[in-house]
Structure formats: structure tokens, C-alpha cells
Chains A and B, each alone.
Chain A
Amino acid sequence: MLGFVIQRLIQASLVMAAMSVIVFVGVYAIGNPIEIIIPPEATQEIREATIRSLGLDLPLWKQYFIFVGNLTEGDFGRSFIYNLPVLELILGRLPATLELVLISVISATVGGVVLGIYAGYRPDSIIAKTIMAVSVLGFSVPSFWVGLILILTFAVNLGWLPAGGRGETVSLFGVQWSFLTFDGLSHIVLPALNLAFFKLAMMIRLARAGTRETMLTDTIKFARAAGISEGRILRRHLLKLISIPIITVFGLELGSTLAFAVVTETIFSWPGVGKLIIDSIAVLDRPVMVAYLILTALLFVLINLTVDLVFAFIDPRIRAKGA
């Protein structure tokens, strides 16, 4: 198992190395940040001084070399815009995003699996058809539109929930969390709902497809033939059997939700990394972009690793192979 983890970590560093080159070259090759960072009013001298101070006058390979050198010391560089260490900037905002993403992905998964199993178990019932209609909608309606409608309905017209921001936070382990206060929770409901809607649809489909297929298998028939009650069959057999694709997708979705939070965070003014990255993209704040993408890649690898470990925990066959 240790060898497996080490192998994964080596793979991860390769991925991140590739990622950093791609992003670095990409940002340089196509965009020139200086045009955007420097105000249009800047004189030629100011312009040149800025280019020099940001190190943009050096040849590309040299810039990358410096970047990698700093990176080995854990220094991702400083934001062009904020003059803050990028890592600090990103890590400071990561909890807000993680909180939002975890709450929405977990609730979407729980809700989606329950609804999906029902829809797959009784595929011809009205409720199942309603569930599927909702999931087609959730799958199709663009996330930003859902966000707009949520704001319009619950914040503007009904006035039940705040339209944006993070609300009151409480410090736990030195990090600010909003889900621990009532005010914070009320702020998180709409963005989490927005982010969860698509995932919910996805999980419903997945659980339904898995249920439909699994219910037809001999495993279930055999369990039924042994007189085991339906409830137990669903809980002990079905749930475990469909869990593998669901956990795979859960892992993948955790990552993609992290990215999709960009949209939700923009709509709901949620102060997470998504908003940071969209602002940074708009001004081509390269150090932030590079660091964000590298960290995202790292996070992905970590999530995949965790998923693999969970698999081994669930599926004895994989455990056997990994050992």
C-alpha cells in the first residue's frame, strides 16, 4: 500500500511539473500581462520600470527557471496585482471555497443517491419520472442561470436569504468558517444549492443507472431468492455495489466543483479562490493563475489518491491487487 501511495505521489509531481510548464508557457505565449496590469495612463518610463520590477524583461526560459527555483523553496511568487505571496493569497481564500464545495457535493451526493436509487428501483412510478425530469433540468440548465433565479426568488422577491457574501464566520483551527454560525449558514444555502443542483442531477442519473443495472443482476436475484428483505437488499447489497462508480464520480466532481465554483462564487460574491482566479484571469495576474492551476492539479491528484484508497477499502478485489 505504501508503494502505491509513493507511486501516486511521483505521478503527481510529474503531472504538476507538466502543468507548470504548460501554464507558464501558455500565459506567456498568448497573453502579455503588462498591457493589462499597467494603467493606460502610464508613461513609457513607468512602463519599463514596472516590466523590470516584475521580471518580465527576462527571457521566458529564465523566468521559468527562476519560478521553479523559488518553487522548490515553497515560494510560488508574488501576485502582480496585490504584491502578496500568491500562496498566502490562495490559501487564505481556500477555506471559503472548500466549505462551499464540500457542503454542496456531499449534500448533492446524499440526496442524489437516495433519489437516484428510488428512481432506478421504481422506474415507472410518477415520483421516479418527476425525479428524472428534475435531473434532466439540473443537467441542462446552465449553472449561472440557476444562480440568478435563486437570487431573484429567495433573496430579492422573498427576502428569505442573503444574496451574496459569506456572512459571519467563526475561527476554528485558525481558519474562518461560516457554517458554524447561523448567519454564515444562511449565506451558504443559496450558493451551495446552486453548486449542488448540477451535481445532484448527475448523482441521480448515476445512482439510477447503477440501480437499474444492479437490480437486474443475479446478485440481487440470488439475495431475493434467499428471502432477504428488500430494505436490506437495497442497503447492504445495492448501495455497496453502486458505490464504486459513485465514489469515482464523487472524487472527480469534487475537483470539477472546485473549478465550477468559479461561476457560483462570481454570482454570489463568495470570497473563495474561484472569484480570485476569475479576477486574476481578467488581469492576467500570472503568478496567481500558475499557482492556482498547479494547486488545483495537486488537489486533483490528492483527491484521486483518496478515492483509490477508499476503493481499496470497499472492494476486496482491489485491496488484493494493491497489497
Chain B
Amino acid sequence: MSASDTQSPLRLFWREFSENKFAVGSLVVVVLLAVVAFLAPLLVPQDPYNLELLSLLDARRPPGFVGSGGYVHVLGTDPQGRDLLSAIFYGLRISIIIGLAAGAIALVLGTIVGIFAAYAGGWIETVLMRVIDLQLSFPAILLALVLVALLGQGKGQLIAALVAAQYAYFARTAYGAAKAERRKDYVEAALATPLAGYKVAVRHLLPNCMPPLIVVATVQIANAISLEATLSFLGLGLPVTEPSLGMLISNGFPYMMSGRYWISVFPGIALIILIVAINVVGDQIRDQFNPRLRK
């Protein structure tokens, strides 16, 4: 069968991907959660941030309670009388936005640093990679913790801290791939031509960095979401009035011991589903990119 001649690499990739039903299921979940997050305002019965719509009289009601708004609180309500389903959808939105933003910025920044180091060579390469290695050996959580404490609360600050904690992974990956490519003859040849250096980097080095970077990106987005939740839990994340999933879990946890499990458990489940699904997709992509496991 010579179908491979007519299929784009992307379609081939998808064919292999679709063989793993679990990964496909996870991808569907990720897409679904993303859609839910971005369409949250259209889907939820209540805007959880509009205080006018909340009533303390509805606070901490179990799943299935019909509140003063006249609709069923499918997952119950939180200590402010917020519909938990709505809060989770909005929380998902915040978590995903932060994860994506931090992941994307770290990706761009890390790739630039990595490729630049590989392209520049010499002492620049040595210094840059020493710094990157040093940072990699330093735990992300600690760095993020210190930065968030110093920068203060807020989405921007949080994303900045996450980027600072994560870009090194991208830089290392891009550097590794670019370095391998840089040694190849055709790149050397291209560098000898009058073609501008950055064009060589973009045209030849960048494409070869993409597959491993995609793998790192999926993992790091999941990590960013998880890290954000952890920071929120430690009280260093976002303000309580615009809760991310981590903040919802943290806010609800004190109620666990008194049996009002839903306030913390449902956001927790949402968070875990999201991260597990992203990781399963990432795993599959990684396996597909790993030449050593392919025969």
C-alpha cells in the first residue's frame, strides 16, 4: 500500500494516534473541557462572579438543591451560595487560560533561548546552557513560590512566575534538537551562504525542534495548571473572588471534615480529569515521536 505517499505527515500522525482509543478519548475530554471553559458564560445557569445574583441563603447546599434562582444546583453550592457547576466551569476557564498562557509564553521564550544558544555557540552557548541547567536542577515549585510571594497576587504575576519556572524545560529541549541539527552539513552549508543567520535558524533549526517541543508543551501545560492549583492551595495564587479550580478546592477543603464534600471534591475531580486527559494525550504524542520504540 502506497497510501503514505499521498498522506500528509499530519494525517499519518493522526492515524497512528487514533489507534490508541484511550488517547483519543482523552483528547475528546480535553477538547470538551476547553470548549466548556471558553463557552462557560453561555453554558452556566449563573454568573458566579456577579454578586448580585448570589444569595447567602443558598450557601453550602448539597447537589440537587433548588436555590433562590429557581434552578437546580446540580453539583450544589459553595460557601457564598455560588452554583458550584458554574463556578467549576469558570474555574476551568481560569485554570486553562493560565496554563495555556504560561505554557505558550514559556514555549516561545524557551525556544528562542534554546535555539539562540545552539546557533550562537561559543561562550554564549556555554553561559546560557549553564544557567538553564542550573535552573532545571532547581525545583519549579520553589521558584514559583518565591516569585509569587515577591510579585504579589494576580493573573499576570502568576503567569510570570509560572513562565520563569518552566521556560528552562523548553530551552533545554529546543537546544538539544537544534544542536543536533546544527551539526549537520546542510546547516553548516547554509550558514556559509549569505543567508541571514536568523533565517537559517528559523528555516532549518526551528522545524526540527518542533516535535520534542510539542511533547514538552503538553506536559508543561498540565504542569502549569497543577502548579497554579498548588500555589492557590498554599494561599499564594489568585484572589479568592475569582477562583481557579485550585482555589475552589482549597476553599472547600475545610468543609470536608464536616461532610460537605462537594465543595472541594467536584472541583478536584474536574482538575484531575483535565490534567490526566492532557497527560494521556501528551504520553501518546511522546510515544509516537520516540523513534526508539518504533520498529
Contact = CB atoms under 8 A, between A and B. Distances in A.
Nearest to A282: B149
Contact of A262 (B138, B141, B271, B280): B141
Interface stretch (B77-85, B86-94, B222-230): B222-230
Contact of B280 (A31, A136, A259): A136
A81 interface: no
Given A140-B226, A262-B141, A145 B134 contact: no
Contact of A281 (B134, B137, B145, B292): B145
Nearest to A212: B293
A67 interface: no
**What range describes how many residues of B lie at the interface?**
35 or more
Interface residues of A, number: 41
A212 B293 CA distance: 8
Interface stretch (A71-79, A182-190, A296-304): A296-304
A140 B275 contact: yes
Interface in B119-169: 134, 137-139, 141-142, 145-146, 149-151
A301 to B, nearest CB: 9
A142 B141 contact: no
Contacts of A26: 146, 150
Contacts of B46: none
Contacts of B149: 31, 281-282, 284
A142 B275 contact: yes
A148 B293 contact: no
Contact of A304 (B137, B150, B278): B137
- Would you call the interface of chain B mostly helix, strand, loop, or mixed? helix
Contacts of A281: 145-146, 149, 236
Nearest to A155: B257
B272 A300 contact: no
A151 B258 CA distance: 14
B249 interface: yes
Contact of A289 (B146, B253, B257): B146
Interface in A215-261: 252, 255-256, 258-260
Nearest to A139: B279
A142 B150 contact: no
Contacts of A212: 293
A252 B137 contact: yes
B25 to A, nearest CB: 13
A145 B249 contact: yes
Interface string A290-309: 00010011001000100000
Contacts of B253: 148
Contacts of A266: 234
A280 B161 CA distance: 18
A297 B142 CA distance: 12
Given A31-B150, A281-B149, A263 B272 contact: no
B150 A300 contact: no
A262 B148 CA distance: 15
B172 to A, nearest CB: 13
B146 A259 contact: no
Contacts of A213: 292-293
A137 interface: yes
B280 A296 contact: no
Nearest to A31: B150
Interface string B240-261: 0000001001000100110000
Given A18-B134, A31-B150, 6 more contacts: A139-B279, A140-B276, A256-B141, A262-B141, A262-B234, A281-B236
Interface of B: 134, 137-139, 141-142, 145-146, 149-151, 222, 226, 229-230, 233-236, 246, 249, 253, 256-257, 264, 268, 271-272, 275-276, 278-280, 283, 292-293
Question: Which 9 residue pairs are nearest across A and B when measured between Cβ atoms?
Answer: A259-B139, A30-B150, A256-B139, A259-B142, A140-B275, A281-B149, A140-B276, A144-B233, A31-B150
